[in-house]
Amino acid sequence: MENETIKTDLMRGKRGIILGVANERSLAWGIAQQLHNAGAEIAFTYFDKIDKLEDKVRKLADSIGSQHVLPCNVADDKSIANVMDTLGKEWGQIDFIVHSIAFADKDELTGRFLHTSRHNFHVSLDASAYSFIAVLSAAHEYLAKDATALTLTYLGGPRVVPNYNLMGVAKAALESSVRYLAADLGPEGIRVNAISAGPVKTVAAMGIGGFRDMLKHHEQTAPSRQATTKEHVGKAGLYLLSSLSEGVTGEIHYVDGGANILGSSLG
Ligand code: NAD
C-alpha cells in the first residue's frame, strides 16, 4: 500500500502552488503526487539559495507534466510576491497552497535549548512560521472563494521532543498561526489546516540531532507501530486540500505522529 496513489477526480480543474519540494523524499512531493493523481495542476517553487535545487525540482515537476517552476525564498517578501503575482495573473485564481518549509541552524538542533541564539531564533521563526502568513497574505487577492491552504508541523511544537529545540518553538508559532489564519479567512470560505507528521527521513529531518532514534522510537510507540511515509502524508494532504474536508479548518491533523501510546516523547 505504501506507494499506492489514489486515483480520483477530486482535484480536477484545481490549480495550486507547492512550496518546499527539495527532492523525491520531501513531504511536499508526497502531497504533489497525490494531488496530481487526483487531477490537480501544480506549480512548484524551489529555494534559489540552494545550489542545483532548480534542476532537481524541474525534473520532478516535468515527471508530472507541471509547466511552472519558480524560484522562491520565503524569507523575502518580494520573492513571494513574484510567485503569487505571476501565477495569480496567469491562472486568474489560486485554488490551493502547500507550505512545506522549515529552516533552523543545524548546530542548535541538538544540545541545550538554553543556548538558543537570538539570531537563530529570528531566522528560524521567520522562515518556518512567519513565512506561512507571508505566503497567504501575498496570495490572498488571487485565492479562490473555496481555496485551501496547508502547512506541515510536528509534535515538537505542542510537546517537548529532545533536540527539536528551537524548531519546536517555531512549530508552536506555526500551529497558532494556522488557527488565527483559519479564523481570519474562514468568513471568505478559505480553509487553513496543518498536518502534524510523524518522522520521515528527509533532508530537513536529518538535520535534527538524534533523528535516527526519533524514527526508531516512533515505530515502537506510534499507534500503528509503523513508520510514517510521505504517502501517508500525501493522502492526508489530499483530504485536507480537497472538498472531502469541507467544513474542516484551523485543524492540526496528526498523521500517526501524535497519540503515542507509551510516552509523549523521546527519553
Ligand atoms: P525537505 O528538506 O524535503 O523540505 C524542506 C524544504 O524547505 C526544502 O525544500 C527547502 O528548500 C525549503 N526551505 C528552507 N528554507 C527556505 C526558504 N527560506 N525559502 C524557501 N524554501 C526554503 O524536508 P521535509 O521533511 O519534507 O520538510 C517539509 C516540512 O515538513 C517542514 O516544515 C518540516 O518541519 C515538516 N515536517 C517534517 C517531518 C519529517 O520528519 N520529515 C515531520 C513533521 C513535519
Ligand 1 atom index nearest CA of 28: 26
237 C-beta closer than 6 A to ligand 1: no
Distance CA(261)–CA(196), nearest Å, equals 17
* pLDDT tens column, 235-248: 999 999 999 999 99
27 C-beta closer than 6 A to ligand 1: yes
Residue 67: the pLDDT is 92
* pLDDT tens column, 15-68: 999 999 999 999 999 999 999 999 999 999 999 988 899 999 999 999 999 999
Residue 262: the pLDDT is 57
> pLDDT-derived band of residue 259, with 50, 70 and 90 as boundaries?
low
Query: Residue of the nearest CA to atom 23 in ligand 1?
Result: 204
**Would you say residue 224 has pLDDT above 90?**
no
**Would you say residue 263 has pLDDT above 80?**
no
What average pLDDT does the segment 184-211 reach?
A: 96
**Would you say residue 254 has pLDDT above 80?**
yes
Distance CA(240)–CA(101), nearest Å, equals 18
Query: Residue of the nearest CA to atom 7 in ligand 1?
Result: 101
Ligand 1 atom index nearest CA of 167: 34
Probe target for ligand 1 pocket from 45, 51, 54, 101, with the most ligand atoms within 8 Å of CB = 101
Residue 266: the pLDDT is 46
Average pLDDT over all residues of the chain: 94
Distance CA(121)–CA(108), nearest Å, equals 10
Q: Which residues are known to be catalytic? A: 154, 164
* pLDDT tens column, 69-95: 999 999 999 999 999 999 999 999 999
Query: Residue of the nearest CA to atom 15 in ligand 1?
Result: 103
26 C-beta closer than 6 A to ligand 1: yes
101 C-beta closer than 6 A to ligand 1: yes
20 C-beta closer than 6 A to ligand 1: yes
Distance CA(257)–CA(267), nearest Å, equals 16
Residue 267: the pLDDT is 43
Q: Please give the full DSSP string across the chain, using - where no structure is assigned.
A: -TT-----STTTT-EEEEE---STTSHHHHHHHHHHHTT-EEEEEE-TTSTTHHHHHHHHHHHTT--EEEE--TT-HHHHHHHHHHHHHHHSSEEEEEE------GGGSSS-GGG--HHHHHHHHIIIIIHHHHHHHHHGGGEEEEEEEEEEE-TTTTS--TTTHHHHHHHHHHHHHHHHHHHHHGGGT-EEEEEEEPP---HHHHTSTTHHHHHHHHHHHSTT-S---HHHHHHHHHHHHSGGGTT--S-EEEESSS--SS-SS--
* pLDDT tens column, 141-151: 999 999 999 99
Sign of CA dihedral 204, 108, 76, 170: positive
Residue 159: the pLDDT is 92
127 C-beta closer than 6 A to ligand 1: yes
pTM, whole model, 2 decimals?
0.96
